[in-house]
Amino acid sequence: MMCDEVKGHVDPYVDRELTAETADRIQGHLRTCVGCRQRVADREALGRLLKSLPSYQAPERLRAHVAGRLDWTRSARPLLTWAAAAALVVAIGGGISLVRSARSWIGEPDADATVDDVVSGHIRSLMVNHVFDIESTDQHTVKPWFLGKLDFSPPVADLAGLGFPLVGGRLDYLSGRPVAALVYRRQQHTINVFVRPASELSPGIRSQSVRGFQVHHWIRNGMSFWAVSDLNDADLSRFVDALQTS
C-alpha cells in the first residue's frame, strides 16, 4: 500500500471502520512510513480534541428563528457548506497546532490520550489478527527480535510458571511513535504490554477501566509499561505484580 492510498483511508482507519484486510495492510505501511504515522497520530489527536469541545442546547427562540428561515437556508445551502468548511479548516488548523504545541512542551501526549491509544492498539491487534510479528514463548528469541527496530531494548520476561506465558511480540505505535508490544496469555485472554522509554514524572502504578478493558500503567528502570487486557482486574493485577518482580 502506498502513501496516497493510505491518505484516503486515514479517517475510516482511525474510526475502525475498515475491513480487517485493509486495516492490516495500512498497519504494515505504517511500520515503515514516518509521514503516514504522523498523519494518523494527528487525526487521532484531532478526534480527541473535537470530542472534548463543549456542546450547548439552542434556546427555543433561536430554534423558531431558524425554522422560519428554512426556505432561505435550502437555497443558500452551497454557500453555507463552504462557510462551514472554511470555519472547520480554521478550527482544525488551530486545534492541531495546539495539540502539537502541547506535545512539544511536555514531550508526551496527555495520559488520557495515551490510554486511549493503548486500548485502540490492543483492539486493533485482535481485530486484524495481527497479535504477533514474532511468535515465540522464548524470551531469548523475542527480545533480540527488536534489535534494529527500536532505539531501545525492551525487557522481556517469561511468566509461564505463574500462569501468564509469553507468546510473542510485535512492533506497534503509540501517538505515532514506535513501541515494543509484548504479548502474553492467560487461558483464552490476550494481554498486550506496550513498552517505551519513560518520560513521565510519576512512577506510581495506575489502573483504570476503559471501554471494557483493564489498563495498568507503571514505570520501572526508566521504562514506561502499559498492560491492557479483557482480563478481570484481579488477574491483571497479579500479572503486573509478577512482571514487576521478574
Task: Identify whether residues 137 and 179 lie together within a single domain.
Answer: yes
Structurally, the chain folds into a number of domains equal to 3
Predicted model pTM: 0.59
> Would the pLDDT of 225 be above 70?
yes
Mean pLDDT of the region 211-226: 91
For 150-163, write each residue's pLDDT tens digit: 999 999 999 999 99
Q: What domain range is 37 assigned to?
A: 3-53
Which of 83, 7, 69 is CA-nearest to residue 38?
A: 7
CATH code for the domain of 171: 3.30.200.100
3-state secondary structure 182-231: EEEEECCEEEEEEEEECCCCCCCCEEEEECCEEEEEEEECCEEEEEEECC
In a domain, 112, yes or no: no
Task: Identify whether residues 150 and 217 lie together within a single domain.
Answer: yes
Task: Identify whether residues 187 and 206 lie together within a single domain.
Answer: yes
Tell me, what's the pLDDT at 245? 87
